[in-house]
């Protein structure tokens, strides 16, 4: 199975709309990323984590099922976040007007692939 880094690379190959992606565990343990600039990477992680926390609180307040994915659209682009086991999540950004359903599918697939690869390696949950 692919490593977390390979899963992120496959995501970029699957979805031409995605500009950047980061795979995170917990609040800030970065497992893989497309960023070459650590400041930009940290900004993306902080922004995505805050959106995820706010969305989780809203879902809980509305007595909804736990959040599994999130899509936020702005004039200049979109952010997609998928959540997985052991508080692992993947955030990806795109330009304006991506094919939303396809990008959500690709982000979820990349997250699942990374988690399966980690489980196969015996590192899952470390």
Tens-place pLDDT, residues 14-38: 999 999 999 999 988 999 999 999 9
Say which residues have a Cβ less than 8 Å from residue 36's Cβ, sequence separation at least 6. none
- For the chain, the distance separating the N- and C-terminal CA atoms, rounded to the nearest angstrom, is 18
What residues have CB less than 8 Å from 122, skipping those under 6 apart? none
- Cα–Cα dist 7/23, whole Å: 9
pTM metric for this prediction: 0.90
CATH topology of domain 4-120: Beta-Lactamase (3.30.450)
Check whether 98 has a pLDDT greater than 60. Answer: yes
The 10s digit of each residue's pLDDT in 26-83 is: 988 999 999 999 999 999 999 999 999 999 999 999 999 988 999 999 999 999 999 9
């Amino acid at each position: 199975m692919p490593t977390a880094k390979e899963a992120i690379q496959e995501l970029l190959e699957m979805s031409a709309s995605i500009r950047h992606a980061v795979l995170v565990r917990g609040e800030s343990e970065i497992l893989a990323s497309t960023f070459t600039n650590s400041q930009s990477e940290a900004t993306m992680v902080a922004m995505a984590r805050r959106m995820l926390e706010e969305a989780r609180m809203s879902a809980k307040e509305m007595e909804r099922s736990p959040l599994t994915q999130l899509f936020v659209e702005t004039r200049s682009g979109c952010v997609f976040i998928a959540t997985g086991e052991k508080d692992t999540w993947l955030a990806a950004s795109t330009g304006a007007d991506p094919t939303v359903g396809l990008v959500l599918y690709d982000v979820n697939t990349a997250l699942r692939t990374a988690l399966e690869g980690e489980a196969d390696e015996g590192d899952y949950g470390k």
